[in-house]
Structure formats: structure tokens, C-alpha cells
Amino acid sequence: MTTSITRHFASISNGRWGPRQVHYRRVGSGPVVLCLHQSPLSSRDMLATMERWKPHFTCIAPDTPGFGLSDPLGVDRAEASDFAEAVIEFMDALGIERAAVYGFHTGAMITGALAAAYPERLVCAAANGYVVMTEPDRQDFIEHYLPPLQPKWDGSHLTWLWARMREQLIFFPWYRKSAAARLSFDLPPAEALHNSLLDFMRAGDHYRVGYRAAFTMRSDLALRQTKTPILVTAADTDVLSADLGHIRHPADGVTVAKGGSADQTLDLCRDYIKRHKPPKMSKSTNHTGLRGRLWQDYVTVDGGQLRLRRNADVSGRAVLILHEAGGSTESIEGLAAGFIGHRPVLAINLPGHGESDNTLPRGKVTVGSFAKAIAAALQRLNIAEVDVIGVGGSAFIALELATLAKSRVRHVVMLSAMLVDDVLSKELIDHYTPDIKPVWYGGHLVEAWYVVRDQHLFWPWFRQKRANVIQSEAELDPVRVQRRLLDLFRSHGMWRQAHQAAFVYPWKRKLAKTREAVLLAAPNADPLKSVAAQAATEMSHLIFVELPRDSHDWARVLLPKLT
């Protein structure tokens, strides 16, 4: 039995919505149960259920399209039937002929749509928190429940988002501030609410597509038409438990039952599924990639899993790209995409960054420990030789990797390396990475917004003086700032430790000892470009290359240097 929940990607190359990938979590063995989460969250919301059920089932929890790490369907509007069809494509990708399906809230609606449309693929279904709306309520929810989520230049949308997530635990629906809509729940700790907010941010404005599909579904008709055995239930404390009494004239295979407590409801669903004897999960898995794009995967190393993006449309020596401290593979997507069709390209999320587990030994967050983790990933992936590009603080990881795995690394590119002197290094250690932790009123979101925004306005960002202005066009598009903000938060504090490791790295001594040629590269807007150029004049084995402003053009400049 697989006792630890692991993460994977399934590739769908020729589905209705074109090439796409589905991220999913998996645990357990035996009968297969698909676990479908609520909006606007991800399969992370199924972790407790999977832990509870893993002694009984193979639990597979996909991120709904456009949520978590799954690609969206690429449409502005979709119905529950579309999301149900997307689940069938996912089942096909994993070689699952038949299964049981469990869904919670929005996932329960998709479960109902599956049960109605695909009885040949389901042995049974369990819908926990099933919405049965009157037509006036349906129109009211569609009009008021789903305002657009658009990043604003000043970060004010984050204040709304925090209030929105908090308010839905105080009122239902969240926009009705009446005694009748008042809920009686304990508000969760700031950290728990923050983690749910990150899922909301992952979905972005697409959250409306998933929610709307649930609200527009004629869920009453689905229960009348289904030929799949289905349990419809809800915990007594669930705001949707009242909807159980609205179910009229269901099909013979529909069982409507109150659930009791949250745990009792899960046990009710578990026992219902067990009675219907789902087939065991086959051993086949889906590990294929997609042509013409960076596709996602996980690699398992000691201590957990590292998320990566890659493309192998052509053969040859791979280009390995390591993102900056506090970033992710999304932050270097333009650079990585430029190598597609020219060289195999691999981008790995550092331990503790961008949905990678923190696989580093406890208390050993150093440049060297990061390099060892990347070397272990290359070995597990059977990649014999690479050219490595390290960005920002990861430039030092690239240099360490070349020392650690000399036979595996051919060329080293240190891009926008943080080549600072001892005085500035001390100041960076003290001020560059404030300890930003969730607070109950959401103020940490605005603090982090201005940190990542000012990083493109001043160097260093905390010296907000005339002398520290970055004299170039700043990257202040709110969507890009929000992406950097999400990267910072999903590193769960590792962004601070990774930066600190880079600030104390003895780069002058390390470069002086290196005998192989090292490429120092920086775009014209980089405030440390002149330091890199000066270092290249002082050490003959260093070569400086100035890059254009657009990161999509960097690969074109670097490729001739990596022959």
C-alpha cells in the first residue's frame, strides 16, 4: 500500500479541449475512488479525506481544470457536463475503465453530472453537499456570487480577496449580510485561511467558470435521470444540508441520507462505496509529455518530490534552468520556452519552492544542499549531461552543481547573479527578506505585494531613495506582480532561507577557484550588471554577456555560447 500521498500529472494529448495536463494526488491501494474537490480550491482540499480512506481505497484526487496545477479548458463558460467529460478524459489518460466517484460541494455537482451521463464508467457515486437551487436563487447566485478577480496595480484586490474568503465562513451566501444568512462556525487560523486563499489565487478569475457551472446545473434533473447508484448526503453542519429536503422524485438508484458530523458523513460515503465494490486500480500510469510546450511532472528524491517542467521535442544535451530564490519554474518560463525545438530543456522547482517538497536536511538550507538536491533529481531522471543556467541566487547553486557533479555539467551560466560585497551582503541579510506571516486581518498580503513590486523599482528594494531607483522600464503589470507574490507565498518561508543562503555564499573565492569557463549574463536593466561585467574583466575564465530586455529572447543569445 502507498501510505504517503504523492503528486503526479496526467497528459491528455488529443482531448476535446486540446492538449492539457491534469495534476492529481494519489494514495492507497485496492478499489479506485476519484475524489473531486470544491471550488475555488484544489485537490489539497481532499487531503484529510484521502488520509481517512487510504486503508480502504486507491484514492485519486485530480485538480479540476483551471484549478490547482491543472490546465484550464480554455473557455470562458462551461457546464457541469463539460467538467464531467473532462473527468472521463482524465480517467482515459490513466487507463481507468470504471471507478467510484466522491465529490464535495462543487465536486459533488460534477459527481452528479458524471452519474447522469456516464453510468457505464461508474460503479457508484457519493455526492457530499449537493446543491438543489430554486430558479430565483440560481439567478441571484450567478449575479452576485462571482465578481471578477482582476489584479489591481495597488494590490487592493488582495484586501477584497481576503475579506471574501473570510466572509464566506460568516455568511452564506457571503454577499448577504442578514441574520438569516449568518453562520455559526469557528473562524480558522490565519494560516489555514491563507492556504485556501492561495488556491483561489492559483485559479484566478477562472474560479468563476467552475463555480458558475455548479450554479447553472439542473441538479434536480440529474438525480431524476441518473442510472448510476448515487448517495446524496451532507453533514449536519453543512449549509447545504437543507438542500437534501429539496430533492423531489429521484431515480430508483438515488439514496438521500443525512450525514451527521463531518467524520460520520465521510464514513457514510466510504461504507456506501465499499458496498458497491469498485474495481482495483490498474498499475498503468501516464507519464507522457506534450509536444511544443513545457509540460509538468514530478520526480521523487529522498525526502519527497520536486516539481519540474520540461520539453524533449529534440535530442541533445539538456539545458537545466534553476529559478531565482523565492521564484518558481513559472518565473523563468520565457527563458525556458526559448530553448524548445533547439535543445531539451528542464526547469526544476527548488526544494520548498513552487509546489516542490522541502527535501533538504533539517537545518541545512545552504547553496550546497540545494545543489545536492538538484544532482539527485538529475540522477533519478537519468539525465547524463546538462548545461545549467542559474538565475539570481540560483546562479550560485549552478556553480556548486558544476563542482559537485563535474561529469554531468558541461557549461555554467550565472544569470543576474547576486554578486554583492560584504557590506551590502550584511544589509541584505538584515532587511531583504522580512518574515511575512499570515495575520487575521490579511495585512500580510499588502506587505508582500509591495515587497515584490518594489523589487523592480529600487535596488535593493528596501532602500527607497533616489540613489536606489532602477533606471529602466519596471515590470509592474499587476498580473505579473501577482504571479511573483504567489511564488513568494507558496515557498512557505523557504524564499527567506534560500536568499539568506545566497547572501552568505563566498562567490569571489568560489569563482577564483573555478578553472572552467563560466558565463556571466545579465539584461541591461539588471542593477548588478556592471558588477558582473567587472568580475569578467578581473578573472580570465569568466565571460560576460549582456542580454536583451525580453526574457523570451535570452535563449537566442545564449544558445551559441552553449555549444
Give per-residue pLDDT as tens, 239-256.
999 999 999 999 999 999
Over residues 199-216, the mean pLDDT reads 96
Tens of pLDDT, residue by residue over 313-370, are 999 999 999 999 999 999 999 999 999 999 999 999 999 999 999 999 998 899 999 9
Q: What is the pLDDT of residue 474?
A: 84
Q: What is the pLDDT of residue 472?
A: 86
CATH topology of domain 6-142+204-275: Rossmann fold (3.40.50)
The single-letter code of the amino acid at 297 is D
Distance CA(555)–CA(558), nearest Å, equals 5
Q: What is the pLDDT of residue 79?
A: 97
Q: What is the pLDDT of residue 2?
A: 59
Question: Which of 208-217, 372-381, 506-515 is least confident?
Answer: 506-515
Q: Is 522 helix (H, G, I), strand (E, B) or coil?
A: strand
The upper half-sphere exposure of residue 210, i.e. CA atoms within 13 Å in the direction of its Cβ, equals 29
C-alpha cell read off for 106: 462543487
475 or 45: which carries more pLDDT confidence? 45
Over residues 474-486, the mean pLDDT reads 94
Q: How many CB atoms neighbour CB 538 within 10 A?
A: 10
The CATH homologous superfamily of the domain defined by 295-421+499-562: Alpha/Beta hydrolase fold, catalytic domain (3.40.50.1820)
For residues 398 and 427, the answer to whether their CB atoms sit within 8 Å is no
Q: What is the pLDDT of residue 129?
A: 97
| pLDDT of residue 8 exceeding 60 | yes
pTM for this prediction: 0.96
End-to-end CA distance of the chain: 46
| pLDDT of residue 547 exceeding 70 | yes
Domains 6-142+204-275 and 295-421+499-562 share a fold: yes
Distance CA(131)–CA(114), nearest Å, equals 15
Q: DSSP labels for 76-105?
A: S---HHHHHHHHHHHHHHHT--SEEEEEET
| pLDDT of residue 526 exceeding 60 | yes
C-alpha cell read off for 61: 484526487
Closest by CA position to 348, among listed 376, 377, 326: 377
C-alpha cell read off for 130: 449537493
Q: How many CB atoms neighbour CB 320 within 10 A?
A: 27
The average confidence (pLDDT) of the chain is 95
Tens of pLDDT, residue by residue over 144-183, are 999 999 999 999 999 999 999 999 999 999 999 999 999 9
Q: What is the pLDDT of residue 127?
A: 98
Distance CA(127)–CA(109), nearest Å, equals 7
For residues 522 and 480, the answer to whether their CB atoms sit within 8 Å is no
| pLDDT of residue 285 exceeding 70 | no
Distance CA(208)–CA(140), nearest Å, equals 14
Q: What is the pLDDT of residue 368?
A: 97
Angle between helices 80-94 and 106-117 (to 10 degrees): 80
Question: Which of 40-49, 236-245, 283-292 is least confident?
Answer: 283-292
Q: What is the pLDDT of residue 286?
A: 65
Closest by CA position to 165, among listed 140, 209, 197: 197
Query: H/E element holding 347?
Result: strand 345-348
* pLDDT classification of 284: cutoffs 50, 70, 90: low
Q: What is the pLDDT of residue 525?
A: 87
Phi, psi of 243 (to 5 degrees): -70, -20
**Domain limits of the chain?**
6-142+204-275, 295-421+499-562, 422-492
Q: What is the pLDDT of residue 473?
A: 85
| pLDDT of residue 283 exceeding 80 | no
